[in-house]
Structure 1
Amino acid sequence: MSTSFLEIVELPDGRIVLRRAEDEVTLVTLDFSADARAFLQGQHIEVAKAMFNVGVQMAGRLAEGEGEWHSEDEGPRVLH
């Protein structure tokens, strides 16, 4: 991924996206359910920022060869 500036934006429909600032290409989309928003008591934006931050850091590590990625099956995977 290029070193362009990224921005976190809440769209009018409530989705939160990470996108490139210069061309507004969406890279990642988060969509919190109503239950999740209620549980987070209005702090869903802060949670989204933290999730994006960790994701960008991990992507950087993978790009530098510091992590491992395994794609053996194209079906859903439980990641916890």
Structure 2
Amino acid sequence: MSPSFFEIVQLSDGDYALKRVDDESAPLVKISFSQEARELMENRDMTVARAMIDAGIQAVSHINDAVDWEDADPEDFELHAHHTLH
């Protein structure tokens, strides 16, 4: 299997997305900022979106490193309600 390459793009609606370079299907991740947030970031929204995606990738990597997937119990990974962090 060949390695996948990813890119962060700005969509036509102004949102940012992480997608595979060679794949036109739906993006893996989308980030949307309100107009107020964009103004507070003073045109640095792409930098913030990139940092958010990078943090997510690192978090997944740490989770994958910490779990022995062969011995893991599927019930330990049940879907939970969405939470808002403040």
TM > 0.5 fold call: yes
Residue 56 of structure 1 corresponds to: 57
Residue 22 of structure 1 corresponds to: 22
Q: Which amino acid aligns with 1:38?
A: E
Provide the rounded CA distance (Å) in 1 between the counterparts of 2:56 and 2:7: 14
Residue 77 of structure 1 corresponds to: 83
Provide the rounded CA distance (Å) in 2 between the counterparts of 1:42 and 1:51: 16
Percent identity of equivalent pairs? 37
Q: Which amino acid aligns with 1:44?
A: D
TM-score by length of structure 1 reads 0.78
CA shift at 1:47, angstroms?
0.5
Structure with max Cα Rg? 2
Bigger Cα displacement from structure 2, 3-12 vs 36-45: 3-12
Provide the rounded CA distance (Å) in 1 between the counterparts of 2:29 and 2:79: 22
Q: RMSD of the TM alignment (CA)?
A: 2.3
Q: Which has a greater percent of helix?
A: 2
TM-score by length of structure 2 reads 0.73
* Paired positions, count: 76
Gaps in structure 1 of 5+ consecutive residues: none
Provide the rounded CA distance (Å) in 2 between the counterparts of 1:34 and 1:72: 35
